[in-house]
Amino acid sequence: MAKLCISTCLTMLAFVIFHLKKLNAVSSYSFSFESFDKNPNFESNFALYGDAKVVGNGSSLQLTHSVSPSAGRVMYKQPIKLVEGNPGNLASFSTYFSFLMSPDSGDGLAFVMVPGGFNASVFDSNPFGLYLGPEKSSPKFVAVEFDTMRDARYGDLNDNHVGIDVGGFVSVKVRNVSSNNIVLNSGKRLHSWIDYEAGSKRLEVRLSHSGDIKPIDPLLSHPIELLKMWSDEKVFIGLSSSNRNSSQTCSLHSWNFNLRRVLHWMHSQPLDPQAFAKHEKPMVVQKKSDCILKVLAAMIFGTAFGALGAFMVLYLWTIFGSRRPVVPEECSVHPADFEYNKVKVVVDKAIEDGKH
């Protein structure tokens, strides 16, 4: 009977812990490719479009070849979600890729984040071969462009810039990388890091020459609420390139992506006080639901442990309580000695613990 109670109780506890774990689930979504062919996961996880193909025994992924016009892209098949669960665990992400562009005047390369409806197999004359519909814009489009062509239609600064594009091809933030002594299409390998922190709601772009470590200072930093843009919609990520009418080749040598889910109530406050003031209302609402959840979780935990404790006491009492009269007098430990030893042990242990 007591055993049954214990097992029921343990099952209950396991159930509670499982659900708490689910509540706190920090699921991750990541991939990492140093070579493209040899990895059996590559083909099942990535889709290649246009002229994109694996070359050099899988050492690189060529997006455009030297015949004009050429365009290609690679998309990760699994979509990401920037918010998941209830309350939403928001996502931060980091991606790194190394690439090489030949010294010709093509469009360059773009890291893209597109909504589910985006048809990746369509290429057109837009920058990076991206088709965003007849309006050439999409409210749910975000890209980081490594642009090697000055296109006056989109207000390009020069033919060697990095920009963050939101909603279309006109950059919201742009950097002349010549001033960083970087030439995007030098024919040498470059490394780029793109990071988004859900807490500070900031998209940061870093770029360095091959062999250099990740720079501390971002090349570009842009405050953007990606969660507001996509909510719980699926978002696809990819890299796209087009050489227009040049013979520019663009290839990728490695690419990794890492998505981290952060507990809703663990988010830091936004660093930008103005952004905080602007969105004060939804933040307060979120906090309230967090609080209720925390209280609920604590209550469930408390109840479960209370119940477990009660069952334990009951169990021990039924075992030892019913046995006591059977134990022969001479075998029983003197209660006073027993108590003393127990206390001593506990105290010693406490001292020991304190030392550590």
Ligand X SMILES: *[C@@H]1O[C@H](CO)[C@@H](O)[C@H](O)[C@H]1NC(C)=O
Give the interface segment with ligand X, choosing from 92-100, 119-127, 220-228, 268-276 (CB under 6 A): 119-127
- Phi, psi dihedrals of residue 16, rounded to the nearest 5°: -65, -45
- Per-residue interface string for the shown chain with ligand X, residues 226-265, x marking contact by CB under 6 A: ------------------xx--------------------
Minimal distance in Å, beta carbon 198 to ligand X? 30
Q: In angstroms, what is the C-alpha Rg of the chain?
A: 29
* Count of residues interacting with ligand X (CB under 6 A): 12
Q: Closer to ligand X at the Cβ: 158 or 341?
A: 158
- Phi, psi dihedrals of residue 267, rounded to the nearest 5°: -65, 140
Question: Does the protein bind ligand X through residue 10 (CB under 6 A)?
Answer: no
> Applying CB under 6 A, which of residues 25, 122, 292, 345 lies at the interface with ligand X?
122
> Applying CB under 6 A, which of residues 35, 94, 137, 178 lies at the interface with ligand X?
178
Question: Does the protein bind ligand X through residue 55 (CB under 6 A)?
Answer: no
The answer to whether 176 and 201 have CB atoms below 8 angstroms apart is no
Distance CA 336, CA 189 (A): 79
Question: Which residues, 6 or more positions from 267, have their beta carbon under 8 angstroms from its beta carbon?
Answer: 90, 198, 199
Distance CA 249, CA 134 (A): 27
Question: Does the protein bind ligand X through residue 66 (CB under 6 A)?
Answer: no
- Per-residue interface string for the shown chain with ligand X, residues 201-220, x marking contact by CB under 6 A: --------------------
The answer to whether 260 and 92 have CB atoms below 8 angstroms apart is yes
Question: Does the protein bind ligand X through residue 134 (CB under 6 A)?
Answer: no
Minimal distance in Å, beta carbon 353 to ligand X? 58
Give the interface segment with ligand X, choosing from 7-15, 88-96, 174-182, 341-349 (CB under 6 A): 174-182
54-61, Cβ contacts within 8 angstroms, sequence gap of 24 or more: 55/251, 59/35, 59/253, 60/36, 60/100, 60/251, 60/252, 60/253, 61/36, 61/251, 61/252, 61/253
Rule CB under 6 A: which residues touch ligand X? 56-57, 119, 121-122, 157-158, 176, 178-179, 244-245
